[in-house]
Amino acid sequence: MGIPLGCEGLKLLPEDFYLQDAARAAPQLLGKTLVHDTPAGRLSGTIVEAEAYLSRDDPGCHAARGETRRNASMFRAGGAAYVYLIYGIYHCFNVVTGREGQGEAVLIRALAPREGISLMAQNRGRRDLRSLCSGPGKLCRAFGIDLRLNGHNLREGPLYILEGEEVRDITTTTRVGLNRGRDKLLRYYVTGSPFISRP
């Protein structure tokens, strides 16, 4: 897939997009553009890897045991951001999908950096382009995403998702790093992308 530099002319993802089930939305999020307008400049990247977390029959999902203070934004209507802290140090960024109260989301696991690469490198403290956003914790650090953006509406600034490239070849595998719900084939990535979190 080609990588255009700017986001000019790209439209916001429509509200309807977010009302789909996570398992449908996740592969369709590949190729879309995540943008964060920060005081230090604009950061953007193309989504190349995502995982779906379902509301029903998915013990790997944070929402599996019902709504708590921590996962509350996961129960919002599709289009909200669900951000949480993991292992005390890293953040994970999810796109909430489905109806209000459904409790589904798509974890964004990797991006191909587009705009603001030098700022991302500064945020990450390292330069290698391929590993700048090649993991859920890495991309949050590169993009400056933290708990302040938990519950944020992704159809508004400063953090939003635009249309992007059509992706032709998608690989589907099991999800990464889970203790429960390992068997489900709910991880999707752009086949051959050098920017995914692992092969």
Across 36-56, b (16+ Cβ under 10 Å) vs e yields: beeeeeebbbbbbbbbbbbbe
Measure Cα distances from 154 to 17, 43, 94, 101 in Å.
12, 15, 11, 18
Q: Residue 9, interface with DNA (CB under 7 A)?
A: no
121 binds DNA (CB under 7 A): no
Regarding 174 and contact with DNA (CB under 7 A), the answer is no
160: contact with DNA by CB under 7 A:
no
94 interacts with DNA by CB under 7 A? yes
Name which position in 7, 37, 90, 99 contacts DNA (CB under 7 A). 90
Which residue intervals of the chain are DSSP H helices? Answer: 15-18, 22-29, 117-124, 136-143
Give the residues across from 173 on adjacent strands: 187
137 binds DNA (CB under 7 A): yes
Of 11-19, 66-74, 113-121, 185-193, the segment contacting DNA by CB under 7 A is 66-74
Q: Nearest 5°: CA angle at 165, between 117 and 42? A: 30
Nearer to DNA, 85 or 170 (CB): 85
Binding to DNA (CB under 7 A): which residues in 13-42? Answer: none
Total residues at the site for DNA (CB under 7 A)? 38
Span from 12-20, 37-45, 166-174, 176-184 in contact with DNA (CB under 7 A): 176-184
Phi and psi, residue 95, nearest 5°: -100, 115
Q: What whole-number distance in Å separates Cα of residue 69 and Cα of residue 112?
A: 32
Q: Which amino acid is at 111?
A: L
Of residues 53, 75, 143, 188, which one binds DNA by CB under 7 A?
53
Q: How many Å apart are CA 29 and CA 83, to the nearest integer?
A: 17
C-beta closer to DNA: residue 4 or 137: 137
Q: Which residues bind DNA (CB under 7 A)?
A: 51, 53, 60-63, 65, 68-71, 74, 82, 85-90, 92, 94, 105, 107, 124, 126, 131, 135-139, 147, 175-179, 197
